[in-house]
Chain A
Amino acid sequence: MVEYAWLVPLFPLVAYLLLFVLGRRAQEGVVTAIAVLASLAAFVVSLMILSEVQANGPGAPYMFHWLTVGSYTLSMGYEVTALNAMMLAVVTFVSTLVFLFSKSYMKGDERFVVFYQYLSLFVFSMLGLVISPNLLQVYIFWELVGLCSFLLVGFWYYKPEAAAAAKKAFIVTRIGDVGLFIGIMLLFVATGTFDYAGVFQAVESKNFAIDWISPEAFITLVAILIFIGAIGKSAQFPLHTWLPDAMEGPTPVSALIHAATMVAAGVYLVARAFPIFAASETALTVIAVIGGITAIFAALIGLTQNDIKRVVAYSTVSQLGYMVMALGVSAYVASVFHLMTHAFFKALLFLAAGSVIHALHHNQDIRSMGGLWKKMPVTGWTFLIGALALSGIPPFAGFWSKDEILLGAYASGNTLLFVIGLIAAFCTAFYIFRVFFMTFTGEFRGDKDTWDHAHESGPVMTIPLVLLAIMALVSGLFNSPVTDYALADFLQAGGLHYGAHPEHVSWMPYVATLVALAGIGLAYLMYKTKSINPERLANGALRPLYNLSYNKFYVDEIYHYAIVLPVVWIGRILNFIDKWIVDGIVRLVGQGTYVGALGLKYAQNGQVQTYGLITVLGAVVLLGAAMYAIGGVR
């Protein structure tokens, strides 16, 4: 089945084309059927590939010629490795459920079919990215994934906030993309190939066709450039600002793209290209630090947000920070493991949030929620499972993978990173249970009409929730003593041996669990029993800190004044110079040389004959000069 891996992205592509042809006349049921079945087919093939890779190990890449450039050949193709076999299964699984969920969520939307077109195109792009055997192809799908995100965030195009968020997502990630672009261009110039295998070989032998920089410095430079791409796509500090805004898109989009799949692409790329990073100590340190900063930074912002989706969005940023930090400390398996478990429980949290939002007629403010457990038990239960998984409570999935990351950070000897990891874990547990308690317990704080209409979502929405909840419960076991760390062995079969079996520290699980429980406990005291008054805290001595967190550390404002406005002003000033000075001077020179002799009277008479004559005269004069010059050269 491995040689048919191209089938996996093909299914959603065909679905996209079919839906495109069908257009808006298509019935919602037909549209959903096409998209869900295609995604399901891709999932089935992915599972077959996964089991085959587990049995026989990964295969060699399949390549075909794409473009000849002089003496070089650019190829496209596909490959199956342990890592991407896992990714294929995760992406198609989550997509299928999100597709199903969307049927109900997007019901009645005027552009229902367009929504499914974009979703299918997105899944195609993501799967294409995953099976790419070379960096150029990765970049191609990387951008297409970004495009789909743009289209889906801005799906409700008539909402100005949605349009702005879509543009912001595209441009901020593109800043990162250009880093990646430069990185792979330099790699091609230095190694003559885009293929992972060829690039890794060159990195290992430090044999580069570049003379303006030492091989070691070159590896560091390229690794950091590629990582800049990951910073953008995986919403790492300082390019994280687009992800929370991207919540303007429909909630299923947030679940699929901005939690489970696309934002994981950055982490995936660093993992896939890890040999380049492993060759540079400096690059790894940069990655670890950025990841650590992101993990804590986003967690701190998450503490005070009131929009249910934004809290979950900041938790995504923070969790991606964990994954990146893990890669930085060479805890490769831990990072990939967390990537997988996170995909399940984060998609779950988003869809559960979507279920709530759907029930409350698109209200997303947790301050006007409460007591929904009674109305929506399935949503409540599944959200709780997701929250427990995110907090890292055993035996839920997040516990196992986060524990591994903390182990990796601890083993790296960087105590600060480890402590940051713990503090962020505390914040995570606190903010997600803050949302849980404010949404599902206590009294409903919205208007009575909304409360009366709120009800549990139908099976189309609850079935995906339940399936994801099961995965959020069991997927942690894939790399636990229960399965004898099966995932680590599976990934190692691909030849990557980074941090497969970190030394286990006996007290780690207890400390991690205690920290998480403490976070939950504090949330319980503040938002369930109300023994601690959050208002008083926010308005008291902690006021400045609260403001800092609530206003997201003013990063957007800083960017606006430090970057956006200056660039716009440079544009305005250049535009002025262009209009009045550049154009003016050229006009002057032009008139002085050619027209001056004939007098301005004739120059402005608008007669084409005059201009023709001037042109010819000018040519004759110039010709004479040139003839003279030629004679001179002889």
Chain B
Amino acid sequence: MTGNLLTFIVLLPLIAALIIGFVPRSNQGQARAVALIATALSLLLSIFVYAGFDQDLAGMQYTTHYEWINIAHVYQDKALTIGFDLGIDGLSLPFLLLTGIITFLAVLASKNIQHRVKEYYLWVMLLVAGLYGCFVALDLFLFFLFLELTLIPMYFLIGIWGGDRKGAVATKFLVYRGIASAFVLVAFVALAFKAADATGVISMNMVNIADAFAKASPDLITAAFKQGIFLVLLLAILIEEAFFPFHTWLPDTHEQAPAAVSMLVGGVLMKIGAYLLFRIGVGILPDAVQYFATLIALIGVINIVYAALIAMVQKDWRRLLAFSAISHMGVVLLGVAAMNEAGLQGGIFMTISSGLLSGLLFFLIGAIQERTGTTMIGALGGLSKPMPILSGFLLAAALGSLGLPGMSGFISEVLAFIGAFDAFPVLAAVGTLGIILAAVYLLWAMQRTTYGPTTAALEGVSDAKAIEYLPMIVLTALILLIGIYPSILGDLVNPTILSYVTGIGG
């Protein structure tokens, strides 16, 4: 059973999608129930995985292997093997848990979807399967399939349930991420074929590839080759992760997508790029990351400051949060570029923290939109009076996002900046501007929404409903937990990071 836990986690949403396909269109409650049960079970299984995970080990655990595709003599007499390989280590486990939590809560938060309900949950389930799959796949080809599996459902989720510009934005999303996928595929194939030079077999298994790359002589796999592949990968990551100048799909997507879908995008989907950076970039091509470290740090700092300055003048909460997320993810690049223990750990912390905070913030903005009919900051005001609970959580989320100690954002920033100040003191110092600017735009937007006199139109709006407490409390609790007791996350990722950092030294 334990061996197949990961398989079940990925399969459950797929099965749910299948069941939803057979649910009669008229019975909307059933579709929702199936989706809720599937995501809840997958979350439970993920927690099971966490409970049974040996935190002292650096390697893959819960590995599953099924032979899938074997073709002899594919290329220069080498055989190609693609396996249904799943597994998890201290790096991917936090992402798995993040996925479990956000997907379940996002389904929960989808209650206000009233239109074509059955289809909605069907696409969400496919998307969820793709998200889970990305973080547990050990085979690069499999990973790629899961990555593609996130694309099409997202296209429909924006295109059908989105706002007034849904068509154009759905297309934009598809084109951007489609291009990113193409780069990913290129990088993967190049990695596999090059590793085959060392091993004699074209394996798409990332552990084998990492092994081959670590052991191969510099003559066989040249530094120039690694750098080339990394650049292709970096391009994909910059698009997936919505970094300047490839970021413009994200504010549009958040603006147009329904709140629950925004939770999935900001909470999980966007983090796949960061995961790739850690898993493939740092894990397989550390020399290349090191080689481009200054460039990566520079891109990071540009994103931190640029996105923060733009966030400051946004009029729509959803666009503001999109730019805020971009600014925060800039810190991840800065940390990774440092290529030391603190920087890498900070990068992972920031990725997870940003996922939780995005999930919470988009949930809250969705709840406010549902009641007031708007997300325009200027149209809101004085919400503390009619909705003290929601306003309180919005305050907490804003504070977490601006890096208040005791919450997850702070420790992430501390770790990333320790790393960055070691490697790039000047760039890191410029990057701290983001800390000030985050306070400026988040406090402004939060106060504009909840402080001040309450306008007559907003007097009567209702506060949180019982069902809404769960997402708010769970996400806030996790943000606080990581902030107060960061070891809960740090002990998970530390062995993996240590193995990476020793890899850099050696």
Interface on A for B, CB 8 Å cutoff?
A: 65-72, 136, 139-141, 143-144, 147, 150, 154, 157-158, 160, 163, 166-167, 170-171, 174-175, 177-178, 181-182, 185-186, 188-189, 212, 567-568, 570-572, 574-575, 578, 582-583, 585-587, 590, 594-595, 606, 608, 611-612, 614-615, 618-619, 622-623, 625-627, 629-630, 633-634
- Complex Cα–Cα for A582 and B252 (A): 14
Given the known A-B contacts A158-B453, A171-B436, A606-B171, are A70 and B405 also in contact in the complex, defined by CB atoms under 8 Å? no
Partner among A140, A167, A611, A623 whose Cβ is within 8 Å of the Cβ of B171: A611
Is the CB–CB distance between A608 and B155 below 8 Å?
yes
Would you give 20 A-B contacts (Cβ < 8 Å), ordered by A? Answer: A70-B497, A140-B410, A141-B405, A143-B405, A158-B384, A158-B453, A160-B452, A163-B452, A170-B439, A171-B436, A174-B436, A175-B436, A181-B432, A188-B421, A189-B421, A574-B306, A575-B310, A590-B179, A615-B174, A625-B186
Measured CB to CB, the closest approach of chain B to A170, in angstroms, equals 6
Given the known A-B contacts A140-B405, A143-B405, are A611 and B175 also in contact in the complex, defined by CB atoms under 8 Å? yes
Is the CB–CB distance between A626 and B428 below 8 Å?
no
Partner among B179, B314, B494 whose Cβ is within 8 Å of the Cβ of A68: B494
Given the known A-B contacts A136-B414, A611-B171, are A583 and B248 also in contact in the complex, defined by CB atoms under 8 Å? yes
Partner among A68, A72, A578, A608 whose Cβ is within 8 Å of the Cβ of B174: A608
Is the CB–CB distance between B490 and A69 below 8 Å?
yes
Which segment of B25-33, B77-85, B188-196, B264-272 sits at the interface? B188-196
> Is B279's CB within 8 Å of the partner chain A?
no
Closest residue of chain A to B340 (Cβ to Cβ) is A70
Partner among B312, B384, B432, B435 whose Cβ is within 8 Å of the Cβ of A568: B312
> Is B4's CB within 8 Å of the partner chain A?
no
Closest residue of chain B to A147 (Cβ to Cβ) is B404
Q: Which residues of B contact A181 (CB under 8 A)?
A: 417, 432, 435
Is the CB–CB distance between B439 and A174 below 8 Å?
yes
Closest residue of chain A to B443 (Cβ to Cβ) is A167
- Complex Cα–Cα for A66 and B156 (A): 45
Measured CB to CB, the closest approach of chain B to A417, in angstroms, equals 31
- Complex Cα–Cα for A71 and B417 (A): 17
Is the CB–CB distance between A178 and B432 below 8 Å?
yes
Within 8 A of A (CB), among B55-104: none
Find the residue from A71, A147, A150, A626 having the highest chain B CB count within 10 A: A626
Find the residue from A144, A571, A622 having the highest chain B CB count within 10 A: A571
Partner among B151, B175, B225, B406 whose Cβ is within 8 Å of the Cβ of A144: B406
Is the CB–CB distance between B178 and A182 below 8 Å?
no
- Complex Cα–Cα for A629 and B385 (A): 64
Measured CB to CB, the closest approach of chain A to B187, in angstroms, equals 8
Measured CB to CB, the closest approach of chain B to A160, in angstroms, equals 5
Is the CB–CB distance between A158 and B454 below 8 Å?
yes
Is the CB–CB distance between A571 and B340 below 8 Å?
no
Closest residue of chain B to A175 (Cβ to Cβ) is B436
Is the CB–CB distance between A618 and B494 below 8 Å?
no
Is the CB–CB distance between A575 and B313 below 8 Å?
yes
Is the CB–CB distance between B421 and A612 below 8 Å?
no
Q: Which residues of B contact A612 (CB under 8 A)?
A: 152, 178
Q: Which residues of B contact A618 (CB under 8 A)?
A: 178-179, 182
Is the CB–CB distance between B309 and A567 below 8 Å?
yes
- Complex Cα–Cα for A567 and B384 (A): 29
Interface string of B434-456 (1 = CB under 8 A from A): 01100110011001001111100
Is the CB–CB distance between B152 and A68 below 8 Å?
no
Partner among A66, A68, A69, A174 whose Cβ is within 8 Å of the Cβ of B435: A174
> Is B470's CB within 8 Å of the partner chain A?
no
Partner among A139, A143, A575, A627 whose Cβ is within 8 Å of the Cβ of B314: A575
Is the CB–CB distance between A139 and B309 below 8 Å?
no
Is the CB–CB distance between A212 and B425 below 8 Å?
yes
Is the CB–CB distance between A608 and B156 below 8 Å?
yes
- Complex Cα–Cα for A143 and B435 (A): 12
Is the CB–CB distance between A582 and B248 below 8 Å?
yes
- Complex Cα–Cα for A150 and B402 (A): 14
Q: Which residues of B contact A575 (CB under 8 A)?
A: 310, 313-314
Is the CB–CB distance between B345 and A623 below 8 Å?
no
Is the CB–CB distance between A185 and B439 below 8 Å?
no
Measured CB to CB, the closest approach of chain B to A241, in angstroms, equals 15
> Is B291's CB within 8 Å of the partner chain A?
no
- Complex Cα–Cα for A140 and B194 (A): 48
> Is B491's CB within 8 Å of the partner chain A?
yes
Is the CB–CB distance between A578 and B248 below 8 Å?
yes
Q: Which residues of A contact B360 (CB under 8 A)?
A: none
> Is B370's CB within 8 Å of the partner chain A?
no
Find the residue from A166, A175, A181, A212 having the highest chain B CB count within 10 A: A181
Given the known A-B contacts A157-B384, A170-B439, are A627 and B193 also in contact in the complex, defined by CB atoms under 8 Å? yes
Is the CB–CB distance between B405 and A158 below 8 Å?
no
Is the CB–CB distance between B185 and A623 below 8 Å?
yes
Interface string of B170-184 (1 = CB under 8 A from A): 011011101101110
Partner among A67, A71, A188, A572 whose Cβ is within 8 Å of the Cβ of B487: A67
Measured CB to CB, the closest approach of chain B to A580, in angstroms, equals 11
Interface string of B290-315 (1 = CB under 8 A from A): 00000000000000001001101110
- Complex Cα–Cα for A590 and B177 (A): 11
Q: Which residues of A contact B163 (CB under 8 A)?
A: none
Partner among A136, A158, A174, A572 whose Cβ is within 8 Å of the Cβ of B385: A158
Within 8 A of A (CB), among B464-506: 486-487, 490-491, 494, 497-498, 501
Q: Which residues of A contact B310 (CB under 8 A)?
A: 571, 574-575, 578
Partner among B151, B185, B440, B444 whose Cβ is within 8 Å of the Cβ of A619: B185
Is the CB–CB distance between A611 and B155 below 8 Å?
yes
Partner among B172, B175, B224, B452 whose Cβ is within 8 Å of the Cβ of A158: B452
Given the known A-B contacts A582-B248, A615-B181, A626-B190, are A66 and B486 also in contact in the complex, defined by CB atoms under 8 Å? yes
> Is B415's CB within 8 Å of the partner chain A?
yes
Is the CB–CB distance between A67 and B156 below 8 Å?
no
> Is B139's CB within 8 Å of the partner chain A?
no
Measured CB to CB, the closest approach of chain B to A245, in angstroms, equals 14
Find the residue from B197, B232, B406 having the highest chain A CB count within 10 A: B406
Measured CB to CB, the closest approach of chain B to A1, in angstroms, equals 26
- Complex Cα–Cα for A595 and B450 (A): 45
Q: Which residues of B contact A608 (CB under 8 A)?
A: 152, 155-156, 174
> Is B24's CB within 8 Å of the partner chain A?
no
Q: Which residues of A contact B428 (CB under 8 A)?
A: 182, 185
- Complex Cα–Cα for A299 and B156 (A): 65
Is the CB–CB distance between A143 and B185 below 8 Å?
no
Is the CB–CB distance between A586 and B248 below 8 Å?
yes
Contacts A163-B452, A185-B418, A614-B175 aside, 10 further interface pairs with beta carbons under 8 A come to A70-B498, A154-B447, A567-B312, A606-B171, A608-B156, A611-B174, A614-B178, A622-B182, A622-B185, A633-B225
Is the CB–CB distance between B418 and A188 below 8 Å?
yes
Q: Which residues of A contact B176 (CB under 8 A)?
A: 590
Measured CB to CB, the closest approach of chain B to A582, in angstroms, equals 5
Measured CB to CB, the closest approach of chain B to A19, in angstroms, equals 14
> Is B13's CB within 8 Å of the partner chain A?
no
Is the CB–CB distance between B490 and A163 below 8 Å?
no
- Complex Cα–Cα for A175 and B432 (A): 10
Closest residue of chain A to B173 (Cβ to Cβ) is A611
> Is B50's CB within 8 Å of the partner chain A?
no
> Is B218's CB within 8 Å of the partner chain A?
no
